[in-house]
Amino acid sequence: MSVPTSHLLYLAAGLFGLGVLGFALRRNVIVVLMSVELMLNAANLTFLAGSRAHSTPGADDVTGAVFAVFVIVVAAVEAAVGLALVIALYRLRRSVDTGAIAELKG
Amino acid sequence: MAETLFYLSAALTLVLAAGVVLARSPMSSVLALLGSFFGLAVVYLLSGFQFLAAAQLVVYAGAILVLFLFVIMLLDLRTAESGGAIPRGRAAAGAALVAAGAAALGLATAVDPGLKAPAGDPTPGGIDRLDVMARALFGPHALAFEAAGMLLLVAMVAVIALAKRERARSGGGA
């Protein structure tokens, strides 16, 4: 596939931007967590684009791919802990609105 | 042919990612995210990452998104709140963010850094062939691999602790 590396990076930038939008604008904690997943995927795509750019048919550079595996692990952990927190919050508040959480407000 | 498929799936990924942000109900958001991850898996596959395309589908679409689905169905959000789309006050800020992002992307395309596609076809079997990945994971990255395993264990304990404490409290109150 002869798609230039920069186009992969544009796709990653667009995905990351949409993730930031969801993270900043939505009030539903679950959708906020999904936006974080979007951003992590954008980071993954960037790592893979780098790995691909540094690979030649004989000598492949898999460092980016290895890092992407670790990002997937962290994403799984983040989703599990985040959703456990959402469930605990819902039991306490009967709501998953970010506006309902203000305990740490100074 | 592969290029057309790439741009098609890239467009699909972006449109569905926008759907995640804009969808009114969290259930639609999850389904849009699922489609977005499928598109991204196709992008990975076309870029020469076969193992990661499979991992993307198995781990993200198969495990993480199912976790999201479980929680959404568990909480029955329709009665709790509409899950509303973007609040009115934030819509203007969102429009400004979109404009800024589009401008930045436009600028980036204008001064295209000229990162060309790698010369030649990718190695048969993909860049991330399992033997190469395994040597990298258990060789130079062995410490990070073990740390990732420890992180998963700690997260599992944390999730159990979070869920169990709440259950004990509600049981005591009843």
What's the pLDDT tens digit per position in A14-44?
Answer: 999 999 999 988 888 899 999 999 999 999 9
% of chain A surpassing 90 pLDDT: 47
Predicted pLDDT of residue A56: 78
Query: Which one of B25, B50, B52 would you mutate to disrupt binding with A, by most A Cβ within 10 Å of its Cβ?
Result: B52
Task: Report chain A's mean pLDDT, rounded to a whole number.
Answer: 88
The ranges of chain B with pLDDT < 70 are 78-85, 113-114, 119-122, 165-174
CA distance A49 to A83: 30
- CB contacts of A25 in chain B (<8 Å) are 21, 86-87, 90-91, 93-94
Q: Look up the ipTM and state it.
A: 0.90
pTM score, whole prediction:
0.87
- CB contacts of A36 in chain B (<8 Å) are none
Q: Is A80 on the interface with B (CB under 8 A)?
A: yes
Instruction: Flag whether pLDDT at A91 surpasses 80.
Output: yes
User: In Å, how far is A46's CA from the nearest CA of chain B?
Assistant: 11
Predicted pLDDT of residue B120: 67
Encoded tokens for A30: 């679950």
Predicted pLDDT of residue B172: 47
Four-point Cα dihedral B162, B164, B169, B174, nearest 10 = 140
User: In Å, how far is A71's CA from the nearest CA of chain B?
Assistant: 10
Predicted pLDDT of residue B173: 44
